[in-house]
Structure 1
């Protein structure tokens, strides 16, 4: 068995991911490291896969991708056996109000966090500020770069290796699924997931978080999160104004 075949088998066995031979051969040919142990090479390949776009790095078949009509609201309920690897394109904390999330982001921008009923300064000038920024926490360890504890529940937009997108809802708490810990492009492996009215219902029994991120998607998403929240608030206020105007006639 070739080195490429060994890596494919090991990643599929350990993580349930079927790596594309073409992608892996390109990875191996571009690697500057030589004569390294196969185990180390496999770990490096897995890291690169989790940091990649699944549409480029994975092979796919009928059971490893979402149905083309997965988002059809006319289908009451069905179960997808999988395993189906997907990547996160968007995540929303639907357990907190939009304004509270904006305020949390602004506290981080000011270098503050909340401890009990107190507002605590968490970032100092100079080296302390740089360290706090790099660690994603302040002096008290209560803040994070997302501006929220991200306790959920969460609504996610997921994408499979064929490019099909679907909305998913966290029905039960999934470890690691928080705005402060998760990156855009992070990967899930779905097994036996239920789809109800075009929406995936996630719980720890059907969704395994693999980690990873897509750098080109993650930074713009984080940088634009406050603007998106404010846009939603404005849209909701405009809709409410219109509704009140119609009722008053």
Structure 2
């Protein structure tokens, strides 16, 4: 069975994540004995990606955001990193709010869009059952990306948090594979290297942001369940502001 130092070194070499020794010792204490070192390391990495990095990762001055990272008075700065961060929120700022609400409602009705045609969808469980019985349904479609109609949309705006708890707003300057409302979970981890921060905004592109994956279930589930209500609230606020402006005029 590998010891904590070996596992920490392997995760650091593979993903540039500096795992907290206390977190790793707790993980090892709860793990079964006689597990191969390679399997134990993979399990530890999976748990790290599913954890709150404020508890699972150690920090040093170069692995966290500057405390004033969101200061809009700083025109531009470079963060050498590597800085591991987790996603707390994601918005598609390239798609109208009403379009996003309508996409959610199509999913709620069990519908998807294929071209200009609205089709019924089946659940993953039903699809697996049909496959197991050797049958298929050519008129059905499976997949959350097609069901929402937002795959490939963007750019996206995210709220990121480092292992020290500091939060920063980020924007997708160039398309980054894996960033979408359906495919990116709340709690997903990114590794930032040589990232530029301009006026308090982290500028993300494929060269500076590497998606490591992961999800914090306790954050992701309520975020998705409350997304439609948040969108409607934002639409209501915008309409109220517009009405107030008209009244003032």
Tell me whether the two structures share a fold, i.e. TM-score over 0.5: yes
TM-score, scaled to structure 1:
0.91
Q: d(CA) in 2 for partners of 1:202 and 1:64?
A: 17
Distance 1:215 1:146, change over 3 A: farther
Partner SS for 2:78 = strand
TM-score, scaled to structure 2:
0.91
Match of 1:39 in 2: 38
Match of 1:22 in 2: 22
How far apart are 1:75 and its partner, in Å? 0.2
Q: d(CA) in 1 for partners of 2:144 and 2:212?
A: 24
8 Å Cα contact 1:71/1:166 also seen in 2: yes
Q: d(CA) in 2 for partners of 1:196 and 1:30?
A: 43
Q: d(CA) in 2 for partners of 1:47 and 1:167?
A: 26
Aligned 1:1-249 pairs, distance under 5 A: 3-31=3-31, 33-123=32-122, 128=126, 139-141=140-142, 143-144=144-145, 147-150=148-151, 151-247=153-249
Match of 1:135 in 2: none
How far apart are 1:79 and its partner, in Å? 0.4
Structure 1: unaligned runs, 5 residues or longer: 133-137
Distance 1:209 1:141, change over 3 A: same
How far apart are 1:147 and its partner, in Å? 3.0
Partner SS for 1:82 = coil
8 Å Cα contact 1:145/1:180 also seen in 2: no
8 Å Cα contact 1:156/1:167 also seen in 2: yes
8 Å Cα contact 1:85/1:187 also seen in 2: yes
How far apart are 1:128 and its partner, in Å? 2.8
Partner SS for 2:148 = coil
Q: d(CA) in 2 for partners of 1:196 and 1:131?
A: 51
Partner SS for 1:41 = helix
What number of residue pairs does the alignment pair up?
239
How large is the Cα RMSD of the aligned pairs? 2.0
How far does the alpha carbon of each residue in 1:49-69 deviate from its partner, in whole angstroms, 9 at most, with x for none?
Answer: 000000000000100000000
8 Å Cα contact 1:115/1:142 also seen in 2: no
How far apart are 1:130 and its partner, in Å? 8.8
How far apart are 1:143 and its partner, in Å? 4.0
8 Å Cα contact 1:155/1:167 also seen in 2: yes
How far apart are 1:121 and its partner, in Å? 1.3
Partner SS for 1:200 = strand
8 Å Cα contact 1:55/1:163 also seen in 2: yes
Q: d(CA) in 2 for partners of 1:210 and 1:198?
A: 24
Q: d(CA) in 1 for partners of 2:49 and 2:232?
A: 31
